Chain A
Amino acid sequence: MKRIRIDEKYCMGCRLCEVHCIVQHSKTKNILKTYMEEYPKPATRILVEEKGYVTFALQCRHCEDAPCLDACMTGAMYRDKKTGAVLCNEDKCVGCWMCIMTCPFGVISRSPDKKSIASKCDLCMGEDVPVCVKNCPNEALKYEDSKD
C-alpha cells in the first residue's frame, strides 16, 4: 500500500503539516475560516516530535498488524480494503479509547470537535496525496508505495 515515509533528516520542524492537517479535517477546509471561526477546531492528526534539533512529523503508520483493530470492541476501526489504510468509522466509535491505549506510536487522539470520537490519520481520503505531504516545504514527507 501507499504509505507516508518520514525523512527526519530534512524535517525543519515548522509544523506546517499540522496546520494543513487541521484545515483538511475542518468543516470548511478554508485555512482562515478554520482558525478564525471554527470552535473547537479539529485536532491535528500528524504531530511533529522534537528532541534537540531532531524533528519529524509522525502520523498513523497504518500498521499491517494494527493493534487498534484488535482492540476496537465495536469494530469502528477497520481496514479499508481498497487502500489498506486503517480508518475509523465515526458512526460506530463509542469513545472507549482502547485504540489510544494500544497504539504503539501514540498517533490516535480524542477528537475535540466531536464527542467521543477517535481521531487519526485517514491519509486524506479523496485527495491524491495527503495534505501534509503536499505542503511539506522541504519534502521531508513522501507518499510512496511501501514494499512490506
Chain B
Amino acid sequence: MAKRPIPTEFIVERDKDKCIACQVCVRMCSNDVHIYDADTNIVTNDNSKCVGCHFCETLCPTDAITIKKNESSFKPNANWSASVISDITKQAETGGVILTGMGCDKPYTIYWDHILLNASQVTNPSIDPLREPMELRRYIGRKPDKIELNYNKGKIKLKTKLEKQLKLAVPIMFSAMSYGSISLNTCASLAKASHELGIFYNTGEGGLHKSLYKYGKNTIIQIASGRFGVHPDYLKAGAAIEIKIGQGAKPGIGGHLPGEKVSEEISETRMIPEGTDAISPAPHHDIYSIEDLRQLIYALKEATDYEKPVGVKIAAVHNVVPIASGIARAGADYIAIDGMRGGTGAAPKVIRDNVGIPIEFAIAAVDARLREEGIRTNVSLIAAGGFRSSGDIIKAIALGADAVYVATSALIALGCSQCQKCYTGKCNWGIATQDPYLTKRLNPEIGVQRLKNLIRAWSLEIKDMLGGMGINSIDSLCGNRTHLRGIGLLDRELEILGIKSAGEPQ
C-alpha cells in the first residue's frame, strides 16, 4: 500500500508581491518551514512542518505571511474528523502514544459561558470603583473559627494567634510551571511580575533556580512526586509550600522531562545528573492515603517551623469532593484544584482530552461540601484550569474559590499562541524550550511588563464588575452564589453549581 503521509495542518501563505526575501522567517522558524534559495532569491515553504505558532507572521516586516488552516481536507465527518484521521495515521506510522501540550481543546461545555453575573438596579446602589475604594485583597490560609480580642484602654488587640497567611493584592496567582517545562526567562518573568504585583507564582516541580531566590517572598514552592530540587533551603525559600498530587491536564499521570532538556542549569536546579530523563512518578510513593498526606504536610510544616502555609494541589476528578474534604482534614492550609482544561508541557493526548472534570463543577461541589461539613474556613480554595478572563475569575470566586491560578493566560500574554507543541522543545516564542537560541527570544523585561498589564487590566475589570454588583470587597463575593445565574444549563447542572437559572429572582 501507499503510506499516507501525516496530513498537513497549516498552509503558509506567502504574498509574492510583498515578500522581500529578507529571510527573517527563515532564521526564526525552529521548525525549518521556510527555505531560502540563494540562486533565485526566493523564499519557499515546507507546509508539512508548520505548527501554526505564528512567530514568522508576527515578525514579517511586510506582512507577507499568513498562516492558514489547510482546507484541503477529508470529507466532512463528525465522527471521523480530520484530527482523528491524522492521529490514527500518526499511530499507524509510529506505533506510539500521541503527545500534546497545553489544555484540553475539545468542545466540552465551558460553564463559565453559561453563567451570568448580577448587577444592582434601584434597590441596591451600584458602586463606582473610580470614586470609591474597592478591595481586591485576599488572604490564603487557614482562618480561625472565632476571633478573640483584647480591649485595653480603648485599644483593640487581636488575642487569637492567626495561622500564617498568604496576602494577595489581587485574587490571581500564576500557576505551577516548572523550570524545565518552561525556560528560565519565562520563570523570571513570572517571578518578577508576581513580586511587583504583590501576588504569587508557583515554581512547579522543577526546583527553584538560584537566580530566583530573591523573589522568594512571592514564590510558592512545589513538591511533587519526583521531589526534584527539594532541599532545606528550597523549603525555606518560598512563602508557601505546595504538595502536588495531580494536574488538571493529566490526572493520574506523572511527568517526564526528556534528558536532552536537562541542561547544566536544570541539572543543578533539579539536583539530577545532566542529560538524564527527569521522571515524576504518577503517585507519590509515600502517599497512599489521607493519613500519609497528613504526615507529609506536617513533616513540611515541621521542617519550616510552622512558618509557611502548606497547600495541596489536586486534579479535578470524579471524587474530588471527598478527596478535598480529606485534604482539609489532613491539615492543609489551602487546596488548589486544577480543572480538566488546565495546561501542561506534555501529556498523552487521550488523557488530556478525556480525563477529569471541569473546574466549575469541582469548585462549586467542593465549596458546598466543605461548608456542609463546617470546615470551609479551615482551608482556602484555589481554582485553576483554563481561566481566560476576569469574567471567568469573578465567577469562580462567586462559586466559592478564594483565589485562582492562571498559567495558560499568562503564557499567552508572553506570546504563546496555543500551538500545543510544548513537548517538542522547539517553542519559537522562547517559552517552552531550553534551546539557548530560542530561550533568549523571551526578554523578561518585556515579559514582566506584559504580565503586569494583564493582571492590572483584569483587576480593573473585576473592580468594575464588583461595583456593578454593589459590592466593595472581593471578600463579600467569595461563595456568594446569589450573584450568579445559569443560562442554557440542565437542572442537574444548576443544582451541582448551586446556582439558580437566569430569570429566577433571589
Which chain A residues have a beta carbon within 8 Å of chain B's beta carbons?
7, 9-16, 19-20, 31-32, 35-36, 53, 135, 137-140
How many angstroms between the C-alpha atoms of A15 and B23 in the bound complex?
9
| B54 CB → nearest A CB, Å | 13
Query: Could you say which of A7, A15, A138 has the most chain B C-beta atoms within 10 Å of its C-beta?
Result: A138
Question: Could you say which of B193-201, B248-256, B433-441 contacts chain A?
Answer: B433-441
Out of B441, B445, B446, which one reaches A12, CB within 8 Å?
A: B441
A14 near B24: Cβ-Cβ < 8 Å: yes
Specify which chain A residues have a CB less than 8 angstroms from the CB of B20 in the assembled complex.
Answer: 19, 31-32, 35-36
Check: B214 CB closer than 8 A to any chain A CB: no
B residues contacting A by CB (< 8 A) are 17-18, 20-24, 27-28, 58-59, 61-62, 435-437, 440-441, 443, 445-446
Decide yes or no: A32 and B18 within 8 Å by CB, A15-B23, A137-B59 being known contacts.
Answer: yes
Q: Are B28 and A12 in contact (CB under 8 A)?
A: yes
Residue of A14, A32, A135 with most chain B CB atoms under a 10 A cut-off: A14
Contact of B443 among A15, A16, A139 (CB under 8 A): A139
The CA of A19 and the CA of B61, in the complex, are separated in Å by 8
CB of A94, distance to nearest CB on chain B (Å): 33
> How far is it, in angstroms, between the C-alpha of A15 and the C-alpha of B62 when the chains are bound?
14
10 closest A-B pairs by CB: A35-B20, A53-B437, A10-B443, A53-B436, A19-B22, A138-B443, A12-B441, A14-B24, A14-B28, A19-B61
Minimal Cβ-Cβ distance residue in A for B446:
A139
Count chain A CB atoms within 10 A of each CB in B17, B58, B61, B445 and give the residue with the most: B61
Q: Find chain A residues with CB under 8 A from B58 CB.
A: 137
Residue of B nearest to A20 (CB): B61
A72 to B114 Cα, complex, angstroms: 74
Please give me the residue from chain A that is nearest to B56 by CB atom: A14
A19 CB to nearest chain B CB (Å): 5
B26 to chain A, nearest CB (A): 10
- Measured in the bound complex, the distance between the Cα atoms of B440 and A7 in whole Å is 11
Checking B18, B27, B435, B436 against A14 with a beta-carbon cut-off of 8 angstroms, the contacting residue is B27
Residue of B nearest to A9 (CB): B440
A15, B24: Cβ atoms closer than 8 Å: yes
CB-CB under 8 A for A11 and B440, given A16-B59, A138-B446: yes
Q: Which of A10, A31, A35, A137 contacts B440 (CB 8 A)?
A: A10
Q: Which residue of B lies closest to A22 (CB)?
A: B22
Contact sample, A vs B, 22 pairs, CB 8 Å cutoff: A11-B440, A12-B441, A13-B437, A14-B59, A15-B23, A15-B27, A16-B22, A16-B24, A16-B59, A16-B61, A19-B24, A20-B61, A32-B17, A35-B20, A35-B21, A35-B22, A36-B20, A53-B435, A53-B436, A139-B445, A139-B446, A140-B443
